[in-house]
Structure 1
Amino acid sequence: MTFWLFKSEPDAWSWGQQVARGNEGEEWTGVRNYQARNNMRAMKVGDRGFFYHSNVGKEIVGIVEVIRTSAPDSTSDDPRWDCVVIKAVRPVKQPVTLDDCKITPGLESMALVKNTRLSVQPVTEQEWATVCAMAQTAPD
């Protein structure tokens, strides 16, 4: 299993909206960055990710699972853009802020800390375990 982080502005798409989609999940559309797109192309069904509220809150609020691999983005006529489908797995018990990540040993190289603009990011196993511990949430 590989781990990821998905960023969304909560006024555009919130954790609550993601949860409301249930097991059907939601396409992670609108990504127009090649690196983020390539990250989605590398995803496999069953991969897990953090759901991060950007701009407002700037915190990890939940865990999601990839339920469909990369396919053409239904919101674009341009064949360069793909998206995955993710479903909510569970909220974290304690949201983890960007500021918390910046000061936590072992997270100094995390993409969230180093590349705050990238909307879909890889997360290492060690980063996943550290953030889950901070979130008081089981890593599985």
Structure 2
Amino acid sequence: MAYWLMKSEPEELSIQGLGTKGHARWDGVRNYQARNFLRNMAVGDQFFFYHSSCPEPGIAGIGRISEAAYPDPTALEPENPHFDPKASSEKNPWSAVDVTHVETFAKVLRLDYLKQQAALAELPLVQKGSRLSVMPVSAEQWAAVLALR
């Protein structure tokens, strides 16, 4: 099993929303490196659900990959903000995965707090210039974050 961190703006999808729905499609990723990480995910992998672009950015819970990568249908929907006019049903460069809710943390582990943790110094999230919406997390980093909840 591998571990990941995936970012979402709470207005789009929050950990609470995922908890209510139980499952969701994680789509709209339009960065090739982040897309490649999606393609590396396997059913059963777990991820930290990170709330981004909000008053309290941070890790808000845990999810699980319930379906491996498949072509992102939002790339083909002209009315969707993630529409890609270069994508077609024959050649869609973008991927989505399905996710399920595992746990909502009692409190968000804020980014400024995570940056203070020596055990997380190599986590891409806390490094300058890292803006990817999907990134790998090592087993050691996973354990360190779990110890902070």
Which of 26, 47, 50 is the matching residue for 2:48?
50
What is the aligned-residue RMSD (CA, Å)? 1.1
TM-score normalised by L of structure 1:
0.90
Conservation of the 8 A alpha-carbon contact between 1:50 and 1:63:
yes
Q: Mind listing any 5+ residue stretches in structure 1 that lack a counterpart?
A: 136-140
Q: State whether structure 2 residue 79 is matched by structure 1 residue 65.
A: no
1:34 alignment counterpart? 32
Quick one: distance in 1 between partners of 2:58 and 2:148? 12
Secondary structure of 2:19's counterpart equals helix
Secondary structure of 2:108's counterpart equals strand
Which of 106, 120, 125 is the matching residue for 1:93?
106
Structure 1 stretches of at least 4 aligned residues deviating more than 6 Å after TM superposition: none
Secondary structure of 2:12's counterpart equals coil
Q: State whether structure 2 residue 108 is matched by structure 1 residue 110.
A: no
Q: Mind listing any 5+ residue stretches in structure 2 that lack a counterpart?
A: 77-86
Q: State whether structure 2 residue 17 is matched by structure 1 residue 4.
A: no
Shift of 1:53: 0.4
Secondary structure of 1:49's counterpart equals strand
2:138 alignment counterpart? 124
Give, as a single letter, the amino acid of the residue that structure 1 aligns with 2:63: V
1:138 alignment counterpart? none
Quick one: distance in 1 between partners of 2:63 and 2:100? 5
Residues matched between the structures, number: 133
Give, as a single letter, the amino acid of the residue that structure 2 aligns with 1:81: W
Shift of 1:71: 0.1
Indicate the percent of aligned positions where both proteins have the same amino acid: 41
Conservation of the 8 A alpha-carbon contact between 1:94 and 1:134:
no
Shift of 1:12: 1.9
Conservation of the 8 A alpha-carbon contact between 1:15 and 1:61:
yes
Q: Deviations over 1:49-106 (max 9, x none)?
A: 0001001111111100000000000111220000110111111233211111111012
